[in-house]
Amino acid sequence: MRYLPLAFDVHNRPCLIIGGGTIATRKARLLRKGGARLIVVAPEIGEELRVLVAESGGQLFEAEYQQELLASGDLVIAATSDPAVNARVSADAQARRLPVNAVDAPDLCTFTFPSIVERGPISIGISTGGAAPVLARGIRAQLEALLSPRLGDLANMAAAMRDAVKQAMPEKARRAFWEWVFSGPVAAEVEAGRLGEGERLLAEALQRPSSQPASRGEVYLVGGGPGDPDLLTFRALRLMQQADVVLYDRLVSDQVLELVRRDAERIYVGKKKQFHSLPQDDINQRLVDLAREGKRVLRLKGGDPFIFGRGGEEIDQLADAGIPFQVVPGITAASGCASYAGIPLTHRDYAQSVRFITGHLKEGELYLPWNELASPGQTLVFYMGLTGLATICRELCEHGLPASTPAALVEKGTTSAQRVVVGDLNSLPRLAEEKSVEAPALTIVGGVVGLHKKLNWYKP
């Protein structure tokens, strides 16, 4: 390790920047975040940089670099477009034992700027010592996805309560207390955006420092998307890593399930045609029971939990039982599968509206408003419609849609096993049988399907 990561306090300290262009401005923004007093030297200085200097209470020197100016700074940044000037600044600064950074010239630097993840008072620096800055930015992106944007709120709360904790309990007890704060119900409340409730729990715990309150269970209702783990939201990923137990559906892909915390208990509650591993009422009650045990329960669903996912029924029972819950939307199958199949759900020339419809058979029949569905200028997306595909196509034709209306099946959409079968209302049932299409498969009907061949970009 050539570069030792250190945290340098620049608050109200003079930081000298040689250069007045875009690169200098970028460094000035970062220093200004740390509260530095900016001193800028350059023949020409950009407007934004001028504003930053004025805000910091610093100084502008509209002139060529002169060695004597180094006396005005505690650290130096060489950010001109002239490598020779940057090299001279570096040599002069090092001769005075001043920390110096020369932009894009690691050999001229005594310190480098890491790629930074910031959450309030928390900052994480990722440095490659100038060897691979793009790699550092990629690592930063991964950390940004994992760390809650409310982590800074939690740190600020801890800072505000630090003295009170010192007074309330002996030193030996403090570490366990703070571990409870950062991994227990206080952190959960802050993560959910309930800062006031988190503060109340922390203050309540200080009244009885010998024993922390029992952890309160909570349910996370999370949409896992149509299959590709890259389509998960940042929030979904964070809650998946926090859960103690996960109840998951058949439509949750193996790749998405792999991102759940490894030591979490896993309970399969998926449903197939004519087979339910656990009836819906039992699932609802199981969520309540597990939360009452103080567990953080992840209810992981394919797609979006509020679009044919029965998520509303589940949180309705949680609300009745007084169980706290969070809902994280996911990319629904219609959006994800259509996008990966190159089929825009709306298009100015083909469809001005889109309808999501359940194709699930009840007692072997489909009871749908066929007259409304068989209207031109709209896209129809049928969920769970593979079994009733022949009925869907027949009814749409009988109620006015031409048999030549384009239609498609997207099997296992957004995954490496995705297949797209394209035909029309007349041919699609036959094609599905010939090609042995299996669930999960989404049915899309409308003129937009005709764009599949031209717009298809996903090659699994």
What residue has token string 């992106």? 141
- Is 267 annotated among the ligand-binding residues? no
The model's confidence at residue 192, banded by pLDDT at 50, 70 and 90, is: confident
**Which among 249, 295, 301, 424 is annotated as catalytic?**
249
Q: What is the DSSP string of 88-118?
A: HHHHHHHHTT--EEETT-GGG-SS-PPEEEE
Please check the confidence at residue 1 and state whether its pLDDT lies above 80.
Answer: no
- Is 43 annotated among the ligand-binding residues? yes
The confidence score (pLDDT) of residue 212 equals 54
Q: Please say if 33 is a catalytic residue.
A: no
- Is 187 annotated among the ligand-binding residues? no
Please check the confidence at residue 210 and state whether its pLDDT lies above 60.
Answer: no
> Please, is 110 exposed, middle or buried when counting C-beta atoms within 10 Å of its C-beta (0-12, 13-18, 19+)?
middle
The model's confidence at residue 299, banded by pLDDT at 50, 70 and 90, is: very high
The confidence score (pLDDT) of residue 211 equals 55
- Is 226 annotated among the ligand-binding residues? yes
249-253, 268-272, 407-411: least confidently modelled range: 268-272
Please check the confidence at residue 25 and state whether its pLDDT lies above 90.
Answer: yes
Please check the confidence at residue 209 and state whether its pLDDT lies above 80.
Answer: no
At 422-448, the pLDDT tens digits run 999 999 999 999 999 999 999 999 999
Tokens of 279: 């009836």
The confidence score (pLDDT) of residue 360 equals 81
- Is 302 annotated among the ligand-binding residues? yes
Q: How many CA atoms lie within 13 A of 405 on its CB side?
A: 27
Please check the confidence at residue 187 and state whether its pLDDT lies above 90.
Answer: no
- Is 384 annotated among the ligand-binding residues? yes
The confidence score (pLDDT) of residue 274 equals 52
**Domain boundary assignment for the chain:** 14-113, 151-207, 218-331, 334-455
pTM of the model: 0.71
At 74-119, the pLDDT tens digits run 999 999 999 999 999 999 999 999 999 999 898 999 998 888 999 9
Of the two residues 409 and 271, the one the predictor is more confident about is 409
- Distance separating alpha carbons of residues 271 and 33, to the nearest angstrom: 52
Q: Please say if 271 is a catalytic residue.
A: yes
- Distance separating alpha carbons of residues 434 and 437, to the nearest angstrom: 8
CATH match for 218-331 among 1.10.3720.10, 3.40.47.10, 1.10.30.50, 3.40.1010.10: 3.40.1010.10
- Distance separating alpha carbons of residues 230 and 223, to the nearest angstrom: 13
- Is 95 annotated among the ligand-binding residues? no
- Is 333 annotated among the ligand-binding residues? yes
**Tell me, which fold does domain 14-113 have in CATH?**
Rossmann fold (3.40.50)
The confidence score (pLDDT) of residue 438 equals 95
The confidence score (pLDDT) of residue 91 equals 97
Pick from 411, 407, 446: nearest CA to 425: 407
387, 358 Cβ separation under 8 angstroms: no
- Is 413 annotated among the ligand-binding residues? yes
CATH match for 334-455 among 3.40.190.10, 3.30.950.10, 3.30.565.10, 3.90.45.10: 3.30.950.10
The confidence score (pLDDT) of residue 238 equals 87
At 336-354, the pLDDT tens digits run 999 999 999 999 999 999 9
Please check the confidence at residue 170 and state whether its pLDDT lies above 70.
Answer: yes
User: How does DSSP classify residue 188?
Assistant: H
The model's confidence at residue 363, banded by pLDDT at 50, 70 and 90, is: low
> Please, is 211 exposed, middle or buried when counting C-beta atoms within 10 Å of its C-beta (0-12, 13-18, 19+)?
exposed
Of the two residues 201 and 404, the one the predictor is more confident about is 404
- Is 229 annotated among the ligand-binding residues? no
- Is 23 annotated among the ligand-binding residues? yes
The confidence score (pLDDT) of residue 272 equals 63
The mean per-residue pLDDT over the stretch 170-181 comes to: 82
